[in-house]
């Protein structure tokens, strides 16, 4: 009987243990404070995280589109004896330089002057500079939509590739929107520009570009910073 009594829990001791456990828990006020702190931290960090993820997606699409155009440029150059100089370019007609790219691009839609805007490119003032200012394309260019939804437009510059840009060797000026009509339709985010030289295509902002500024968050045009620095 004595041993059984020894095994029984003292009621006072049990009460002390319970109080000790309760004292180690959180009060409602403390829980609410923690939740508030977590909410504040989340509100500060999650938007930046989402923005970074989206930027990385645009960067990946830019790299893909640039690779596609680079490979096509190589093929067109080889077809013309190793140079893009001298290819017949007749104004803004179907004989634009872009017509030589048709064979080497996976195209789902072609647009010619004056039907490119609103079909294969944005209408005037429905796309934006990096700072949010609405902008326009002075002349309706020749454009295509690639199979992945990217827009590509060519602005014919010089059949002799002697335009003043990129050390006087520019044949054509190309712009792309990597996700088509989907927002944000903004230069430096999903819209980027390239120069076609006599032997290659380069992103705007490379050395020799007449608009060389290429720092993160300050340039409306340049994809070179993204391609070179991710």
Is the torsion defined by CA of 193, 198, 201, 207 positive or negative? negative
127-177 pLDDT, tens digit per residue, is: 998 888 898 876 768 899 999 999 999 887 777 888 765 556 788 889 999
Q: Is 156 helix (H, G, I), strand (E, B) or coil?
A: strand
- pLDDT: is 211 or 116 the higher one? 116
pLDDT of 223 strictly over 80: no
Q: How many residues does the chain have?
A: 230
pLDDT of 70 strictly over 70: yes
Burial 39-77 (b: 16+ CB within 10 A, else e): eeeeeeeeeeeeeeeeeeebbebbeebbebbeebbeebb
If we measure between CA atoms, which residue out of 144, 159, 145, 155 comes closest to residue 193? 155
Is the torsion defined by CA of 56, 62, 66, 69 positive or negative? positive
Looking at residue 150, its pLDDT comes to 97
- pLDDT: is 189 or 34 the higher one? 189
Domains of the chain by residue range: 37-229
Q: What is the pLDDT averaged over residues 8-30?
A: 57
How many distinct helices (H) and strands (E) make up the chain?
5, 8
Q: How far apart are CA 156 and CA 67, in angstroms?
A: 21
Helices (H), 81-180: 165-168
pLDDT of 22 strictly over 50: no
pLDDT of 82 strictly over 80: yes
| CA–CA–CA angle 73, 75, 80 (5° rounding) | 95
Q: Which residues contact 75 (CB under 8 A, 6 or more apart)?
A: 103, 104
Please provide the average confidence, as pLDDT, over all residues in the chain. Answer: 77
Residue 222: Cβ within 10 Å count: 25
H or E segment and range at residue 128: strand 127-128
213 in Cβ contact with 206 (< 8 Å):
no
30-60 pLDDT, tens digit per residue, is: 777 777 777 666 566 555 544 565 678 888 8
pLDDT of 12 strictly over 50: no
């Amino acid at each position: 009987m004595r041993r059984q009594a020894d095994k029984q829990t003292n009621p006072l001791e049990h009460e002390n243990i319970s109080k000790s456990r309760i004292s180690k828990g959180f009060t409602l006020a403390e829980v609410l404070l923690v939740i508030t702190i977590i909410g504040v931290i989340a509100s500060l960090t999650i938007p930046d995280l989402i923005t970074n993820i989206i930027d990385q997606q645009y960067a990946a699409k830019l790299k893909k589109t640039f690779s596609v155009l680079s490979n096509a440029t190589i093929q067109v150059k080889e077809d013309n004896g190793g140079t893009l100089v001298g290819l017949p370019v007749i104004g803004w007609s179907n004989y634009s330089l872009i017509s030589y790219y048709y064979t080497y691009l996976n195209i789902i839609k072609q647009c010619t002057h004056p039907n490119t805007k609103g079909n294969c490119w944005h209408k005037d003032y429905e796309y934006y500079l990096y700072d949010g200012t609405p902008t326009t394309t002075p002349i309706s260019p020749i454009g295509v939509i690639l199979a992945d939804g990217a827009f590509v437009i060519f602005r014919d510059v010089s059949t002799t590739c002697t335009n003043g840009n990129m050390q006087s060797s520019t044949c054509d000026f190309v712009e792309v929107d990597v996700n088509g009509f989907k927002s944000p339709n903004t230069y430096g985010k999903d819209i980027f520009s390239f120069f076609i030289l006599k032997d290659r295509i380069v992103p705007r902002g490379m050395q020799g570009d007449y608009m060389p500024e290429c720092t993160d968050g300050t340039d409306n045009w340049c994809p070179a910073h993204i391609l070179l620095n991710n």
